[in-house]
Structure formats: structure tokens, C-alpha cells
Chains A and B, each alone.
Chain A
Amino acid sequence: MMSSVPGPDKKTKLLVYTIEECPVCGQKTKRAFAVGDYVTKDSSKCPKCSNVTRVSLVYAEGVKPSS
């Protein structure tokens, strides 16, 4: 489920993303946040070297709704 909360100006929506980082090759991937994600959690396989990635960040980004 994509998490979204109202932004500071009420017009923008904040979409929450999880950043996965491969500890071996450093490859970063960005995907929608899923309940249960947390920083340092072992996540999916790295698309580049197939090692297990680790969640390095979870953050929200503002998205203006298209009118």
C-alpha cells in the first residue's frame, strides 16, 4: 500500500519511498514504502549483483496533484 499524507501546504501530497542499497556494489533502488519497512532491514535482491540489499532510508517526497 502506498502511504501518502498531506503536505505542508495541503495541496501537495507526500508519497513515502523506501531506498534500498546494496552493501556490496552500492546500487540504490527506490520503491514505494511498504508497512514493515525500516532502516537497516534486509530487503530484496540487488538487480545488479543479486546480493541482499538493505533499507538505507525511508522518506517522503512532495508530489503536486495534476489538475
Chain B
Amino acid sequence: MLTISSAVLQVSTSDITTYLYIAFFGLLFIVQFAFGTRLQSYFAINEIGRGLNKLKVMKDKARKDAIDYLVNVGKASNDPTQRVDQFLDYVTIMPVDIDPSGLVGKIDHVVTTNNDRVRTEVGALLNQTNPVTISISENLLEVATSLNQIHKIVRHFYLLGKKTNSYFTLVQLQMLMPMIIQEADALLNATDSFKMGEPVGDGIGPVVVSRLMAGKEKRVIAKDTMMAVTEYKGRKLYVLKADGPMAYVGQPGVAIQKIVGDMGVKPSAIVMIDAALKLEGEKTGEIAEGVGAAIGGIGVEKFQIEEAATKAKVPLYAILVKQSLIEAITVMRKEIAEAADRVTEVLNRVIEEKTKEGDEVVVAGIGNTLGVAQ
């Protein structure tokens, strides 16, 4: 009884701070309940704004790098600034896909038109005809265009989210920002490698194939694509890669179609060597084997290769060298370069296991062949 009365006494005489304490937390709960999303939107807007500033710095640097390269290395006769700015906003309108029949051919046509236009315009801007310089300029402009697009899209959703006060738009963008910045950073780093003409990680396929082509007679098999014929343990190898040391990816799809179709070659296997994006936790330079067309891009080349292989009933084998996006588009790392010997061993084993003496085999080195001749 005595204990209860003393407790009551304690509560009744408690400090005013206790009430303030309760009132503070009560108010905090009400504010959180009523204005929580607004507060979070405010934090998201700040974070996206900081990321957007970073993207702006990156796209301005890529644009400046491209202009500097055109002026200093390409010896552009006039100030290319205005032309570069027009170039950054140039759009490629993809064909309509509501009737998918023949869509790949249409995409190929649009993409080829765009690539031809880029090369012609860059060539006209420069006061020299060195194909390496022209190809590097093309790549630098492509990087600047990509960064410009990324910045524009992020800015669009940022302003839209702010304008409509859409919490979900802003939070989604906020969550994606680290990945977007990482990708933009990779693109920006790629400009350094391009300017120097250094082979990039994506060029590991061409590096392996260039060894098979060394000393052999080469011929142009498709646009920007070279082919040579060689031999390995009684098998006739048709080896192809993009024309280096220019920063080309070539047209391996057209090349394989020509070899299997026009040239009447009946290969027992098509082996493709390419770089593949690694998953987090996988080691750079690890080699993976598989089946199927090992080629990235918009899908046109992949379609052409699959079509040619299916029509001729030729198995497709893939040898992949794992790397991250930044490693694929920047200067080739030691771990990737040193995988070339192991890839050659795997290639030899695949040829020996899957084909027999007297057979014909197509070997394609897929990727950007900057700094890798043949």
C-alpha cells in the first residue's frame, strides 16, 4: 500500500520534462505520419541533384575530350564545336515493331545507315584520312552521345518527379543513381583508353584470333571485317575479326553468313570468342565455355549468326572471358590479357573434341579491335 502511494506521488510530482519528452515523441510521430514521404522526397531530390551534377560534369568532359581530339589529333580544319553539339543530339529512330516480321533487317538497315553517316561526317570534319584516328573519333563521339543521353534522361525524371511531387518516381531514381553513376563513370574512363589507342578488355577475342591470322593472307569478308584461312591439326580454319588496329567491331554476322552461304563452306563448328560481363564475385579473366552465339550488341549480328548456323545445322560454341563493364571498355587489364593463352588452349581443345581431321571450322574473335591488328 505504501509502495503504490509513493509511486502515485512520484508521478504526480514528476518533472515537466517528462511531459515535454512525451510531447516531443508524439509530435515526431505525427510529423513522420503526416510529412514522412515529403521528407523522404526532399532527401531523394537532394541526392539525385548531386548525382545529376556529377553526370553533367562527366558529359561536359566527354564532349570536351571529343572536341580536343578532333582538333589536336584529327587536325579538324574548322572549329568542330557546333558540329559536335549537333552530333550529340542526333537521334536514331528504331523501326516499328508492331509487325515483327522482317524487323531485324529493318534494324540492321537503320543502324548501318547511322554508322555510315557517323563515319562520313567524322571523316569530313577531320583534315586527315588515318582510319585509326577516324575510328577513335567515332568512338569518342559515341561515348559523348551516350553520356549526353544518360544525363538528359536522368534530368527528365528528376524534374518530372519534382514537378509532380511524385515520391515513387523520385525514390526509384534515387535507388538507381549509384548504378547509373557507375556506368557513366565507366564510359568516361573509356575515353582515356580510346584517345591513346590502347586495346580494351572487350578486345580479348580479337587478340586470340590475331595470333591465328599472323603471317596469313587476309581478305575483307564484310565491312570492317577481315578473314584469313589457316590450319590446325588437319582442320581448315576460317578465322575472322574486325579490321584492326582501328576501333571497329566489324560485321561478324555478315561475315559468317558469307562464309557459310556465298563461299559454300560446310563448317563442322563455329567457335566464337568474346568478352562476357561477369557477375559480382566472379574473377576477372575467368574463362567460361558454352554453346550459342557469343556476341552482344543490339541483336542484329547475333540473329544473323544464329540464322546461318541453324540453316546449315552447324553447332555454335562459345568461349567467354569474364570482365566487368568498366574493364570491357577501358584499357585491357593484365588478368584479361593473360587469359589469351588459356583461351587458345581451350579453343584448340574444342576444335580437337568437336571436329575431326579434314573438317572446316569457323573461328570468330568478337569485340572492339582497337589496338589489335591482324
Residues of chain B within 8 A of A25, CB atoms compared: none
Name the B residues within 8 Å of A41 (CB-CB).
245, 373
CB-based nearest B residue for A8: B326
A57 pairs with B244, CB closer than 8 A: no
The CA-CA distance from A59 to B373 in the complex, in Å, is 15
Answer yes or no: B162 CB below 8 A from chain A CBs.
Answer: no
Chain B nearest Cβ from A35, distance in angstroms: 6
A8 to B336 alpha-carbon distance, docked (Å): 15
Question: Is the C-beta of B311 less than 8 angstroms from some C-beta in chain A?
Answer: no
Contacts of A59 in B (CB 8 A): 199, 331-334, 336-338
Q: List residues 48-67 of chain A with CB under 8 A from any CB of chain B.
A: 54, 57-61
Chain B residue with the shortest CB-CB distance to A40: B373
> Are A5 and B372 neighbours in the complex by a CB distance under 8 Å?
no
Do B244 and A60 touch (CB < 8 A)? no
Number of A-B residue pairs at CB separation under 8 A: 74
Bound state CA distance, A10 and B98, in angstroms? 46
Q: Which of B170-207 contact A (CB under 8 A)?
A: 189, 192-193, 196-199, 207
- If A40-B372, A60-B332 touch, whether A33 touches B189 (CB-CB below 8 Å) is no
Contact of A40 with B210 in the complex, beta carbons under 8 Å: yes
Residues of B within 8 A of A14 (CB): 331, 333
CA distance A33 to B332 in the complex (A): 12
On whether the beta carbons of A3 and B199 are closer than 8 Å, the reply is no
User: Contacts A39-B372, A40-B210 known; A60 to B333 CB distance under 8 Å?
Assistant: yes
Contact among B196, B324, B334 with A33 in the assembled complex (CB-CB below 8 Å): B196
In the complex, are the beta carbons of B371 and A58 less than 8 A apart?
yes
Assembled-state Cα–Cα distance A60/B244 (Å): 19
Task: List A residues at the B interface (Cβ < 8 Å).
Answer: 3, 5-6, 8, 14, 16, 33, 35-41, 54, 57-61
Q: Could you pull out 13 A-B pairs where Cβ atoms are within 8 angstroms?
A: A3-B198, A5-B192, A38-B197, A38-B371, A39-B245, A39-B373, A40-B244, A40-B374, A41-B245, A54-B214, A57-B337, A60-B330, A60-B334
**Which B residues form the contact surface with A (CB < 8 A)?**
189, 192-193, 196-199, 207, 210, 214, 244-245, 324, 326-327, 330-334, 336-338, 340, 371-374
